[in-house]
Amino acid sequence: MELGLDTYKQHEQVDDGVTVARISLSSANIYKVMHLDGSETTATPKNRTTQFLVGDWVVIDPQLDFDLISERLPRYSTLGRITGDRYQAQEKEAVSNLDQLFICISMNKNLSDSRINRYRYAFQKDNEYQTSLVLTKSDLWPDAAQLAAQLADELGVAVLCTSSLTGAGIADLQASILPGQTVSFYGNSGVGKSSLVNAVAQEEVMATQQISARTDKGRHTTTSSRLFPISRGDFILVDTPGIKSVGVGTNDLAMVFPEIVDLGKGCRFHDCTHKGEPGCAVQAAVNNGQLDQQVYQQFISLQAESQATQTYLDAKIAKKLMRKARDKKQAVSKRHYRKPPM
């Protein structure tokens, strides 16, 4: 297996004569790389300040018992997320060079429009990778196929309805993954992600755990991102830890709420926030029943959270830059300090 190298070359150039490998594990600055033959080796970066993600293509210089990473090749896509919210917000990048992202949501009592919209807003990047919604545990939901079709029509994205227990929808999911693609399944702990991946791969790739009957939630089976080549289907899987919460950054709201963005073009003010300004076409649509009140509230909530998160992250960056400037000034002062004559 070429680990998706041919797919990578469709996006980025790789020089002839270099030895390349792919980051298969990144955990606390400990790295492993996978070679084109599927073998895995511990790796050490030549430049210790360079950060690597699982999925990165790198140029290596093989040593006796490890590989020296001499260069990280450009990324054509990056999967990241905001963890926490407001003053606890942190930006985390998880996977690179991704072709398809499957957002997994269980068809249990936690299924809701607001959860779906939050995940789409947090992760959907149409210009970098394809995003699909996977409804897991469809055996728990009557008329699951009908709901999937309805959501696909409303959201404008592919929606796959699956059950690892009955095998429903697994063949469709397998058919949606092209040979050589790098894919990842993302979702809360307990949505059945590990069982789903095992069913798609037709082998025991990941360990599984039972979810709590009381909370209907699971524990983290995966603790760090890993890269796995899947021979049946000839694709590359990046497994990521289950997530407890999803914060939202500053992605384009038009991807999730295109109808509101279109309505907003009719507002009197170009910077209308749709929260009380005169001549607001969005609020008018809510009042006359053209726009669903629940959808409007979801939009306002995500917009407010996004703005609060971005304000905090901007302040965090500014504080970091000020600290660096202060440290540099102090270093310069010490360098030019002259001891007074005795």
Please give the annotated binding residues for Zn(2+), written as ranges. Answer: 267, 272, 274, 280
Q: Please name the residue ranges forming H helices in 92-169.
A: 113-123, 144-155
Q: How far apart are CA 34 and CA 38, in angstroms?
A: 6
Counting other chains too, the contacts that 300-308 makes at CB distance below 8 Å and 24 or more residues apart are 300/274, 300/275, 301/114, 302/117, 302/118, 302/121, 302/248, 302/253, 302/256, 303/253, 303/273, 305/85, 305/86, 305/247, 305/248, 306/121, 306/248, 306/249, 306/250, 306/251, 306/253, 308/85, 308/86
Contact partners, residue 322, CB within 8 Å, separation at least 6: none
Output the known binding site. 136-139, 187-195, 267, 272, 274, 280
Q: How far apart are CA 211 and CA 136, in angstroms?
A: 14
Output the known binding site for GTP. 136-139, 187-195
Q: Which two tokens stand for residue 121?
A: 């807003």
Q: Are 33 and 40 in contact (CB under 8 A)?
A: yes
Nearest-Å Rg of the Cα atoms of the chain is 24
Largest Cα span, the chain: 91
H or E element in which residue 296 lies? helix 293-335
Q: Are 95 and 23 in contact (CB under 8 A)?
A: no
Q: How far apart are CA 240 and CA 247, in angstroms?
A: 17
Q: Could you count the other beta carbons within 10 Å of the beta carbon of residue 205?
A: 16
Q: How far apart are CA 167 and CA 211, in angstroms?
A: 19
